[in-house]
Structure 1
C-alpha cells in the first residue's frame, strides 16, 4: 500500500494536474503484464508437478525435495535482486539512447551475478555434510537430500547468468521473448522429465534433471537473445 501511495503521489506530481489515461502506455503495460503472468504460471505448474511426483517416491524424498527447493528459491530471490538492478540500469540507459552504457551494464551485472552464484555454490558444496542438518536430523531425509543437493550446486552458476540476463531483457521491454523462452523450457524440458521420472522411477534425480534442463534451455535462449543485439533495438 505504501508503494501504491508513493506511486500515486509521484504520478500526480509529474502529471501537473493532467490525469487523463494514456491508452498506448496502458496497453503496453497490460501486454507486458500478460506475458509475465503466463511466465509465472509456467513456473508454478512445473513446481507443483515436481512436488506431486516427489510425493509418489515417499515421505523422505518429498521432504528432501522441498528442503532443497526452498533453498533454491531463497538463492533465486537473492540473484533476482541483482537482476532487478540490471533491469533498472539497462532500462534507464536504453531510455536515454545510451546503447553502449546498456551493454556495459548488462555485462557487469551478469559477471557480478555469476561471481556471487559461484561463491554460493562453493559454500554449499563445502557444507554438504553440515548445512542440511540445520533443517532436519532425520537420517532418511538427509540421505535423500544428497541427490538434489548436487543438482542445486551445479545449477547455481547457470542461474546466476540466467537471472541477470532475464533482468537485462526485462529492462529492454523484451517480456514477450522471455515468456516464450520460459514456456518452451517448461513444456519442452522440465515437465516431460518430471513425469518421465515418475513413469520410469528415476526418483529425485529425474525431477532435478528436469529443473537442470529447464535452466540450461533458458540459458541458451537468453544468451542467444542478448548476443543477437535485438534487445537494444
Structure 2
C-alpha cells in the first residue's frame, strides 16, 4: 500500500480542520447568544425568532453548493499551480451568490408572511416572525457571499482567515444585539438588524480578500454555468436531507410532546457532533482536490485513506464519550421526567452511529473534493428513499415512536456508508486534472 499511495502530515490535515470547525461552530454559537437575548423579551418574540431563524437557515442550507462546490473546483486549480484561476472561481461564485441572493431577498419579502402563517398557525407568532425575517432577509445576499468566500479560501488551503472574518462579524454583532434590543428599544427588530450587521462585516472582509488578490473581478457566465451544474446536484442532495429530518420531526411531534422534546435534544447533539466530524471532511475536500489538480492520483488515494481512518477514530472516541455521559448529559437539557424517559429510545442509536458517521462524513469530504457530486446526490437520495423515509413513516403508523425514527436514521446512515465505501474502494472518483 505504501508504494501506491502518499500520505500528508497529520498536522496539515488538522491545521485545516480545526479553523474550519471554528467557522462551522461560530454561527450556532451566535444563534445561542441571540436566543438568550431575545428570550428575555418573552415567549412571543422568542417564538418569532425561532420561526424566522428557521426559515432563513433553510436558505443557507439549500445553497451550500456555493461553499462546497467552489472548494472542489478551486482546490483542483490550486493543486495545478494556477492560483489566479483558483481565486477566479471565487470571484465567479461571489457574483453567483449576489445574483441568487437578490432573488432570494425579493422572493422572500413576497412570501414571508404566507409561509410564516402556514408554519405557525398563530397570527401573533406570524407577526413577530415576519418582523424579524423581513429585516434579516437583507442579509441573504451577504450570507451567500460568505459561503462563496469560505469555498474559495478552503480551496486554496486557507481556513484561518475565514475564521477571523466570521469571529469578527459575529463577535461585534453579539455585542450589538443586546444594545439594540434593550437600551435602544428596538426589540426583536434589533436582533434582526444585528444579524444583518454581522453579515455585512463578514462579507466585506471576504470581498476585500478578493481585491487584495488582484483578481479579475469581471463576471464570466461560462464559469458560473459550470458552477451551477455542480450546484444542482448538491441542492438535490440537500433536499433529500431536509425531507428526512423534517419527516422525523413531524413523526416525533405526532407521537407525544415528550417524544418530540427528547428527539430535539438528541438531534441537536447529533447536529453538533456532525460539525466536529464535518471539519475533517472540509480538510479532505481541500487536500483531495489539490492532489487531483496536481495530477497526483497516489496522493489523492493516500489522503482519502488517511482521512477515513481519522474519521473512524474520531467517531469511536465520540461514541465512547457520549456512552459514558448517558446518565448525566440529558439532565443539562431537561428535568422533565417524561422527556428523560424517552431520551434512551434515541440516545443509544445516536451513540452507536458515531463511528459510522465519522467514516461517512470523511468520505463525503473526499468525494466532494473530487467533484463527485452526482454520485453523492444519487447515493443520498437512494438512502433516503430506501431507508429513512419508509421506516420513519412506518413508525408513525405502527406506533414505534423514537425507536422507529432512529432506526430509520440508522438505516439511512448504513446505506450511505455502503455507497461511499464502495465508491471509495473503486477509485473511480479519483479523476485527475485541473477541473472535472
**Does residue 1:139 correspond to 2:337, yes or no?**
yes
Q: Which runs of 5+ in 2 are unaligned?
A: 1-202, 432-436
Q: 1:97 to 1:22 in 2, by over 3 A?
A: farther
TM-score when normalising by structure 2: 0.51
Query: d(CA) in 2 for partners of 1:227 and 1:56?
Result: 41
> Where does residue 240 of structure 2 map in the other structure?
42
> Where does residue 378 of structure 2 map in the other structure?
180
Q: What is the CA deviation profile of residues 161-199 of structure 1, one whole-angstrom value per residue up to 9, with x for unaligned ones?
A: 000000000000000110110001111110110000001
> Where does residue 220 of structure 2 map in the other structure?
21
> Where does residue 285 of structure 2 map in the other structure?
87
> Where does residue 231 of structure 2 map in the other structure?
33
Q: 201, 211, 221: which one pairs with 1:9?
A: 211
Q: 1:197 to 1:10 in 2, by over 3 A?
A: farther
Provide runs of 4+ in structure 1 moved above 6 Å: none
Query: d(CA) in 2 for partners of 1:75 and 1:165?
Result: 16
**Does residue 1:197 correspond to 2:395, yes or no?**
yes
Query: d(CA) in 1 for partners of 2:413 and 2:304?
Result: 19
Secondary structure at the counterpart of residue 353 of structure 2: helix
Query: d(CA) in 2 for partners of 1:77 and 1:180?
Result: 23
Q: RMSD over aligned Cα, in angstroms?
A: 1.4
Superposed, 1:54-203 pairs within 5 Å as 54-203=252-401
Query: d(CA) in 2 for partners of 1:92 and 1:14?
Result: 20
**Residue 9 of structure 1: how far off its partner (Å):** 2.1
**Residue 27 of structure 1: how far off its partner (Å):** 2.3
Secondary structure at the counterpart of residue 403 of structure 2: helix
User: Which structure is larger by alpha-carbon Rg, 1 or 2?
Assistant: 2
> Where does residue 80 of structure 2 map in the other structure?
none
What is the total number of aligned residue pairs between the two structures? Answer: 229
Secondary structure at the counterpart of residue 429 of structure 2: helix
Q: Which runs of 5+ in 1 are unaligned?
A: none
TM-score when normalising by structure 1: 0.94
**Residue 26 of structure 1: how far off its partner (Å):** 2.3
> Where does residue 425 of structure 2 map in the other structure?
227
Query: d(CA) in 1 for partners of 2:271 and 2:395?
Result: 22
Query: d(CA) in 1 for partners of 2:403 and 2:310?
Result: 30
Query: d(CA) in 2 for partners of 1:208 and 1:187?
Result: 15
Q: What is the CA deviation profile of residues 55-79 of structure 1, one whole-angstrom value per residue up to 9, with x for unaligned ones?
A: 1111111100010001001101111
